[in-house]
């Protein structure tokens, strides 16, 4: 099949050397080069205090960078905020809600504050947004009676009143119970399936693995890595694991073939595959075991999680207590 060169699609978010030093001298974000592809669900991952919120506030034009550039939907921020922000839905640091108003009336207020929103179609827009976040049944309740998860969903509904190219969500599941987290994740997946690019920050690795196609990992204000979630996990190679009743022979053969850091637990032998280019062919290793009369019950590499990748990158655990 003949095909021309791939069209270059402009990233929805792109930063170069983005840096923020707060007045107190704290370097919160340090030379960030971030690229968020259109159509991705992009996880912005890092422990508490790693600079995620500061980055999001710069992207949304809420604070000025100390140096560097940020482009959102192809335009420079904060300069082009007036043109860019109407195309972006944002949920940052929890939604501002009026507790004495119903969920529906909170959205009516949000919609009325948007000069581009046609008042004649307001009721339909509000009903549709409530429906999309699963709050139609609770729309008449006062917002102060909402659970944290419902408040978070109402904030999302506000961001969804207008069609958006990009949604920016700062820790959207923070403080939610497991059911609330599942609901928000399902919502994010649905939005992404509808073509919206979603940029969400999180300090929860499994959350990123569950909903995101891409991720960037931050620590102490610096970007450690970014790419597809699959590539990030596979950049850290899993340990080789062999199950066999002949553990001693397996260890000997694997050692001869350059496998390091071998460990035996019951009938399971694990070890680090030798690094090198090209990497060793697992089929050859398996054949060597069989040739040496090692009876192999199972053979493969252990699954690597994003958490393993993070630990390998930083040399430290992923401290969520922060
Ligand atoms: N207004 C501010 N003035 C001074 N320092 C700040 C300010 N806001 C944040 N910081 C500091 O900048 C660093 C990065 O904070 P930031 O809130 O961006 O991190 P984060 O990854 O979003 O963490 P969290 O999830 O806890 O919000 C932290 O050391 C924080 O103490």
ipTM of the complex in this document: 0.94
Please tell me the distance between residue 205's alpha carbon and the centre of ligand 1 in angstroms. 19
Q: What is the pLDDT of residue 320?
A: 43
Q: Is 26 in the pocket of ligand 1 (CB under 6 A)?
A: yes
Q: Is 93 in the pocket of ligand 1 (CB under 6 A)?
A: no
pLDDT in tens, the chain (322 residues): 556 666 667 899 999 999 999 998 889 999 999 999 999 999 998 888 889 999 999 999 999 999 999 999 999 999 999 999 989 999 887 678 899 999 999 999 999 988 888 999 999 999 999 998 889 999 999 999 998 888 888 998 998 898 889 999 998 888 778 888 888 888 899 888 888 999 999 887 778 888 999 999 888 899 988 999 887 766 666 688 999 999 999 999 999 998 988 999 999 999 988 776 666 788 889 999 999 999 999 998 876 666 666 676 666 655 543 3
**Angle at Cα 61 formed by Cα 58 and Cα 62, nearest 5°?**
80
Tokens linked to 77: 């921020």
Ligand 1 atom nearest to CA at 221: 14
For residues 305 and 233, the answer to whether their CB atoms sit within 8 Å is yes
- Is the four-CA dihedral 159, 160, 165, 167 of positive or negative sign? positive
Q: What is the pLDDT of residue 234?
A: 66
Angstrom CA distances, 26 to 58, 177, 267, stand at 15, 33, 52
Listing DSSP states for 229-273 in one string gives HHHHHHTSPPPEEEE-S-HHHHHHHHHHTT-EEEEEETTEEEEEP
Q: What is the pLDDT of residue 58?
A: 96
State whether residue 51 is helix, strand or coil. Answer: coil
Return the residue matching tokens 């978070």. Answer: 152
Enumerate the H helices of the chain as residue ranges.
Answer: 52-59, 81-84, 103-112, 122-132, 148-159, 178-193, 205-211, 229-234, 247-256, 282-291, 306-314
* Residue with CA closest to ligand 1 atom 3: 22
* b/e per residue 249-281 (b: at least 16 CB within 10 A): bbbebbeeeebeebeeeeeebbbebeeeeeeee
Q: What is the pLDDT of residue 306?
A: 65
Q: Which CATH superfamily is domain 13-234 in?
A: P-loop containing nucleotide triphosphate hydrolases (3.40.50.300)
For residues 103 and 114, the answer to whether their CB atoms sit within 8 Å is no
CA distance 251 to 140: 67
Ligand 1 atom nearest to CA at 203: 25
For residues 89 and 96, the answer to whether their CB atoms sit within 8 Å is no
Q: How far is residue 102 CA from its own chain's centroid?
A: 32
Q: Is 47 in the pocket of ligand 1 (CB under 6 A)?
A: no
Q: Is 46 in the pocket of ligand 1 (CB under 6 A)?
A: yes
Locate CATH 3.40.50.300 in the chain. Answer: 13-234
The CATH number of 240-301 is 3.30.70.100
Q: Is 52 in the pocket of ligand 1 (CB under 6 A)?
A: yes
Q: How far is residue 189 CA from its own chain's centroid?
A: 12
Please tell me the distance between residue 275's alpha carbon and the centre of ligand 1 in angstroms. 38
Ligand 1 atom nearest to CA at 46: 21
* Residue with CA closest to ligand 1 atom 4: 22
Q: Is 108 in the pocket of ligand 1 (CB under 6 A)?
A: no
* Residue with CA closest to ligand 1 atom 2: 22
Total Cβ atoms within 10 A of residue 84: 22
Please tell me the distance between residue 212's alpha carbon and the centre of ligand 1 in angstroms. 24
Please tell me the distance between residue 50's alpha carbon and the centre of ligand 1 in angstroms. 7
Locate CATH 3.30.70.100 in the chain. Answer: 240-301
CA distance 265 to 252: 15
For residues 47 and 219, the answer to whether their CB atoms sit within 8 Å is yes
CA distance 303 to 65: 39
Q: Is 54 in the pocket of ligand 1 (CB under 6 A)?
A: yes
Please tell me the distance between residue 55's alpha carbon and the centre of ligand 1 in angstroms. 9
Q: What is the pTM of this model?
A: 0.77
State whether residue 204 is helix, strand or coil. Answer: coil
């Amino acid at each position: 099949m003949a095909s021309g060169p791939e069209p270059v699609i402009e990233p929805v978010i792109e930063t170069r050397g983005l840096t923020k030093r707060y007045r107190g001298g704290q370097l919160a974000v340090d030379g960030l080069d971030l690229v968020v592809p259109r159509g991705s669900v992009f996880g912005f991952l890092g422990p508490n205090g790693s600079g995620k919120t500061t980055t999001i506030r710069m992207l949304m034009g809420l604070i000025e960078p100390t140096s560097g550039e940020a482009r959102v939907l192809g335009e420079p921020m904060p300069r082009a905020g007036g043109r860019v922000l109407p195309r972006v839905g944002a949920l940052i640091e929890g939604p501002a809600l009026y507790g004495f108003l119903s969920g529906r009336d909170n959205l009516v207020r949000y919609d009325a504050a948007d000069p581009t929103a046609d008042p004649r179609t307001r009721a339909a827009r509000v009903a549709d947004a409530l429906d999309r976040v699963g709050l139609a049944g609770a729309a008449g309740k006062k917002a102060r009676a909402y659970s944290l998860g419902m408040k978070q969903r109402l904030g999302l509904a506000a961001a969804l009143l207008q069609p958006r190219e990009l949604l920016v969500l700062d820790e959207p599941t923070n403080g939610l119970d497991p059911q609330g987290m599942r609901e928000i994740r399902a919502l994010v997946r649905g939005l992404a399936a509808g073509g919206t690019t979603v940029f969400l920050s999180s300090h929860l690795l499994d959350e990123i693995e569950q909903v995101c196609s891409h991720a960037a990992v931050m620590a102490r204000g610096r970007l450690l890595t970014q790419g597809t979630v699959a590539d990030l996990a596979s950049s850290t190679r899993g340990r080789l694991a062999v199950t066999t009743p002949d553990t001693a022979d397996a260890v000997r053969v694997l050692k001869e073939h350059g496998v390091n850091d071998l460990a035996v637990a019951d009938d399971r032998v694990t070890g680090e595959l030798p690094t090198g280019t090209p990497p060793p062919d697992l089929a050859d290793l398996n054949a060597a075991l069989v040739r040496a009369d090692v009876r192999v019950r199972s053979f493969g590499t252990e699954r690597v999680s994003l958490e393993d990748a993070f630990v390998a990158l930083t040399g430290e655990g992923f401290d969520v207590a922060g």
